[in-house]
Structures are given as C-alpha cells and as structure tokens.
Amino acid sequence: MPRAGQHTIDLLTDYFAAMEAKDSARFGAYYAEDITLTFANAPVVTGRAAVQQQMTDTLDLVDSLAHPLINVWQEEDGVVIFEVDSVWRFHDGTEKIVTACSIFTIRDDKFTDQRIYVDNSPLARHLS
C-alpha cells in the first residue's frame, strides 16, 4: 500500500490542529456537504452541519483532543487510511491515549466519508 503524499499528510495535520484548537469553522470547512461519519459503534451521521455539530459536541467534553499521525497510506480515488494516537485531555486533568485507525475519503480537499475505528472503552467514564 503506498504511503500518502505530503499534501494529504498536511491536510490531515491541519484538520486535526483545527480540532485540537476547537475551531469549529476551520475543521468544518473540511467537510463536504454530503459527508458521512461513522464513529465506532455510533449511528452514521450525514451532512456537513450534523457532522460539525457532532464533533463540536465531542470537543466540548475535553480540554483538548490531539491526533498525532503514526502512519498514513493512500489508495486511488481519494481513499486515505491512517493510524493515530488520540490524546484526550479531560477537564479534570486526566489524559488518556487511545490508538485509532480511520478510513477517510477525500475529494477536492474535502472529506466525503469518515470511518473511525477505535475502542473508546478506556474513555467511558469521561464521555458519559
């Protein structure tokens, strides 16, 4: 599987920096109007406004949420597969790190589909 190009890595890095900064307008600008989001076992969320709200609601639960990239691969047709360490910093000072693997589809620098595979059970008491 080919490694992703620098443009894709930069796009992901900027997107995740916007999330860490809780800049809803900036990270929301990466979503296509018809984006679909599948986050672990949660129901699929469809549409830019709905996905942006879902992410905003999640970020309200934390002081910050960082996503350092570990590996990034890119297939044809804008399919990007990557591994991250999700660094969750909660309001009570607790920090938890969980590794996730995601598949994003990117067209014209917009996410059209996000599938995030992660075991968030170590975060359960903080996310309830």
Mind listing the pLDDT tens digit for each residue in 74-108?
A: 998 999 999 999 999 999 999 999 999 999 999 99
For residue 21, the tally of other CB atoms under 10 A from its CB is 12
For residue 57, the tally of other CB atoms under 10 A from its CB is 9
| pLDDT-derived band at 127, boundaries 50, 70, 90 | confident
- The count of structural domains within the chain is 1
78: in domain:
yes
- Per the document, the length of the chain is 128
49: in domain:
yes
Which domain, by its residues, includes 23?
6-127
Mean pLDDT of 111-120: 96
1: in domain:
no
Note if the pTM is more than 0.85.
yes
- Is a pLDDT exceeding 70 seen at residue 1? no
Q: What is the CATH number of the domain that holds 106?
A: 3.10.450.50
